Structure 1
Amino acid sequence: MSDAMPATEAVIIEEQGESRPRGVPALTYALTKIGGALISLAMVIILGFFAFKILPGDPAAAMARDRPMTPEQIQQLREQMGLDKPLWQQFGEYLVNVFTLNFGESYVYKESVASLIGQYFWNTILLTGTVAIIAIALGLWLGQKAGWMHGSLFDKVTTGTSLVLWSVPTFWLGLILLMVFGGTLRWFPTGGMVSPNPPDDLIGQILDVVSHMVLPVITMVAVVYAQYVMVMRASVMEEKSADYLVTARAKGLRDDLVRSRHAVPNALLPAVTLVFMHIGGLIAGAVTVETVFSWPGLGKLTFEAIQGPDLPLLQGTFVVFSAIIIVMNLAADFIYRWLDPRVRRA
C-alpha cells in the first residue's frame, strides 16, 4: 500500500505536468491577442478625439448657416456645445462619455449619438451581412474551381473579371448602376430603404426592402468577391502539388472528390482568416455605397456628420467602426489558431 500511493501520486503529477504546457501557451496567446486588441482600441479612442479636432470648420458657425445669427449668438452656441472649454477638459469629458457608452448629443440631429447609432446600425448589418454571404459563397466557389483548373479558359475569365472589378472604384460602379438600372431602365429604386408608400402586407414590405437592396448589394459584391477569388485560387494551386493529393488519386478517387474532400478543406484556412478580417472592413467601408444609394445606415450617417462637422456623431461612428474591425481581427486570430494545428503547436 505504501508503494502504491507514491506511484498514484506520481501519475497524477505527471498527467498534470503534461497538461500544463498545453494550457499555458493557449492562455498566453489569448491574453496577448486580447491585450493587443485593447491597446489598439485605446489608441483608436484617443485618435477619435484629436483627429476630428483638427478638421476645418466651426460646428457652431456651420449650424448658423441655416439661420441668421449674430456673433454673440454663435458664441453662446459654442458654449452650449462645450467648444469654449479647454482642450484637456473636453478630452476628459470625451473619455468619460466613451467608457460609459455615451457619446454625447448630435449637433445636427439633437439626439443621443448612442441612440442614433442604434437606429442605423442594423440597417448597415442587413446590407453588409447580405453582401458578405453572397461575396464569400461566390468568391470561394469560383476561386477553388479556378485554382483547380489553373490555366484553363474558366480560370482566365474568372481571374481577369475579378481583377478588373477589384480595381473599380466602388462609388463609380454604384453611380453607373444607379444611372442605368435605376434612372434609365427604372428596374430598381434609386435610393433609400423603403418606398414612400410601402405595401401594407408583410410580404410586400419585405419585397420592397429587397428591391431597394439589389443595386447596393450588387455594387459591393462586385468589388468584394474578387478578394476571396484570388486568395482561394492561390491556396488551391498551392495544395495541388501536395503529396497527400497524389496519394488520394492513387487510391482511385475521382478528381472532383480529391478536390472537394482533400484540397479545398486545407485551402480554406487562409480564406477563413480573410473572411473575418474583411467583415469588419466591409461594415466600415459601407460609407461610400450607403451615401450613393441613400441607404439609411451608419455609412450615410457618417457622411452627413462630416458635412457638419458633427463632432460627437463623427467620434461615435469612428469608435464603433474601429471597434468592429478590431473585434473581427481578434476573432480571425482565434479561429485560425483553432483551425490550424500548426499554429497551436508553435
Structure 2
Amino acid sequence: MTAADNNPAAILAAEAEAGAPGGPAGPVGPRGRGPRARNTTAYLTYVAGKLGGALVSMFAVLVTSFFLFRLIPGDPVKQMTGGRRVSSEQLAAMRAEFGLDDPVWKQFTDYCGNVLTGDFGTSYQFHTPVLDKITDALGPTLWLTGAAYVLYTVIGIWLGTRAAWRNGGLGDRFHTGLALTLYSVPSFWLGLLLIITFSVGAGPLPGLFPTGGMESGDESGVAYVVDVAHHMVLPVLTLVAVGYAQTLLVMRSSLLDEMGSDYLTTARAKGLRDDLVRRRHAVPNALLPTVTLMFVNLGTVVAGAILVETVFSWPGLGSLFYQALSVPDLPLVQGLFFVFATAVILMNTVADVVYPLLDPRVGR
C-alpha cells in the first residue's frame, strides 16, 4: 500500500476520474442532479401540469360559452328587428349574414377557429366587432373594480389580522359579525340602499352622490377626474363592503391557525415584542391562503361586477354583458364570457405557480 492509498484527497481524485458516485460525474457533480436540480425539475413539472390544466379549462370554457347561451329563449334575429314587421325573406337573409342558418357543428368550428385568431365576431345589436366593444368597456371596469380591489384587500388583511390577534375581544366580535353580515348581503341590494340613502336622500340627509353613470359629460381636465371619482364613490363602496368581508374572514381564520404554533412561542420566549411576533412571524405564514384569494379576486377584476355595474349604470364589461344577455347578442355574450372565465383561469394558474415559491412544501 502506497502513501497515496492512505490520502483521502487522492482517493477522491481517483473516484472522480473513474466516474464514481462521489465524484463530479456522480449525482452531486456538475453533470449530476443534486437536491437543487431535483427541486427545479419538480417545480417545472408542477408548472407544466398547471399550464396544461389551464389550457384544458380554457377549451372547456370555449365549448361552454358556445353552447350554453344558445339555450337562452328568444330569436336574436327577431330581437334585432326591434319588433318591426319583417318578411320571412329578410329574416332568412339576416340569419345567413350572421351564419345562423349553418349547422351547429359548423358554427362551433368556425367560432373556435376565429377565437384562436382573436376574432369574436360582430355584435348583433351594435354592428361592431366584439373585441372593439370589449376594449372600450374594459377601461371603466378596471377603474371601478381595480380601485375596489386595492381597498378591500388592504382593509380586509389589516382588520383580519387585528381581529385574530385579539381573538374573542370586542373588536374581534364586532368586525367578524359585520363581515359575516356584509358577506351574506346581495351586492345589488346593498347598492340600491346606498342609492336611496346617499343619492336620492333619506329624511334630512340630502343626496350627495350621482345615482349612476361614470361622468356628467361636461367636464374636462382635473374637473373630469374629480367628476369620475365622485361617480365612483357609491359603486366602489358597495364592492369594498362585500369584498373586504371575505378577505377579513379568510385572513382571520388563517392567522388563528398559526396562533398556537411552536415558533411563535419560541419568538416570545426570546423576548420579542408582541407586535414584532405578529408582523415578522405570524402574518407572513398566515398570508398564504390570503394570497391565493387575492389572485382569484384579481381575476374577477377583469370580469367586473355585473350586478353592481348594472345598478349604478356603470359603462363597464358587467353592464355590457347584461345588455348582451337581453337580446341575446350571442357573439358579444360568448366573447365576454370567454374573457371573464379566461381572466379567472389565468389568475388561478398564476396563484398555483407562485404558491410553491412562498411555501416549498407545495407541488412536491
Q: Quickly name the TM-score band, shorter chain normalised.
A: over 0.9
Which residue is equivalent to 1:35?
A: 52
Q: In structure 1, how many angstroms separate the alpha carbons of the residues matched to 2:110 and 2:323?
A: 24
Which residue is equivalent to 2:24?
A: 11
Q: Helix, strand or coil for the counterpart of 1:241? A: coil
* Rg larger for: 2
Which residue is equivalent to 2:210?
A: 189
Contact 1:171–1:288 (Cα < 8 Å) also in 2: yes
Q: Helix, strand or coil for the counterpart of 2:24? A: helix
Contact 2:160–2:248 (Cα < 8 Å) also in 1: yes
Which residue is equivalent to 1:113?
A: 130
Report Cα offsets for 1:62-118 as digits up to 9, x if no partner: 112253322322222222121111111111111111111101100011100011111
Alignment equivalent of 2:253, drawn from 231, 234, 245: 234
Q: In structure 2, how many angstroms separate the alpha carbons of the residues matched to 1:94 and 1:79?
A: 15
Report Cα offsets for 1:23-56 as digits up to 9, x if no partner: 2211110110000000000000011111111211
Contact 1:249–1:255 (Cα < 8 Å) also in 2: yes
Identity of aligned residues (%): 48
| 1:281 Cα deviation after fit | 3.1
Say yes or no: does 1:168 pair with 2:168.
no
Say yes or no: does 1:218 pair with 2:227.
no
Q: In structure 2, how many angstroms separate the alpha carbons of the residues matched to 1:12 and 1:262?
A: 41
Contact 1:273–1:335 (Cα < 8 Å) also in 2: no
Alignment equivalent of 2:79, drawn from 51, 55, 62: 62
Contact 1:175–1:292 (Cα < 8 Å) also in 2: yes
Say yes or no: does 1:267 pair with 2:267.
no
Query: Please, which runs of 5 or more residues in structure 2 have no aligned partner?
Result: 1-9
Q: In structure 1, how many angstroms separate the alpha carbons of the residues matched to 2:331 and 2:174?
A: 47
Q: In structure 1, how many angstroms separate the alpha carbons of the residues matched to 2:173 and 2:62?
A: 45
| Between 302-311 and 9-18, the greater mean CA deviation after superposition | 9-18
| 1:4 Cα deviation after fit | 4.0
Contact 2:305–2:318 (Cα < 8 Å) also in 1: yes
Which residue is equivalent to 2:98?
A: 81
Equivalent residues, number: 343
Counterpart of 2:33 in structure 1: which amino acid? G
| Structure with the larger helix share | 1
Contact 2:187–2:238 (Cα < 8 Å) also in 1: yes
Contact 1:125–1:283 (Cα < 8 Å) also in 2: yes
Which residue is equivalent to 2:170?
A: 153
Q: Structure 2 length normalisation: TM-score?
A: 0.90
Q: In structure 2, how many angstroms separate the alpha carbons of the residues matched to 1:5 and 1:85?
A: 76
Which residue is equivalent to 2:269?
A: 250
Say yes or no: does 1:24 pair with 2:33.
no
Q: Helix, strand or coil for the counterpart of 1:343? A: coil
Query: Please, which runs of 5 or more residues in structure 1 have no aligned partner?
Result: none
Q: In structure 2, how many angstroms separate the alpha carbons of the residues matched to 1:48 and 1:5?
A: 66
| 1:158 Cα deviation after fit | 0.3
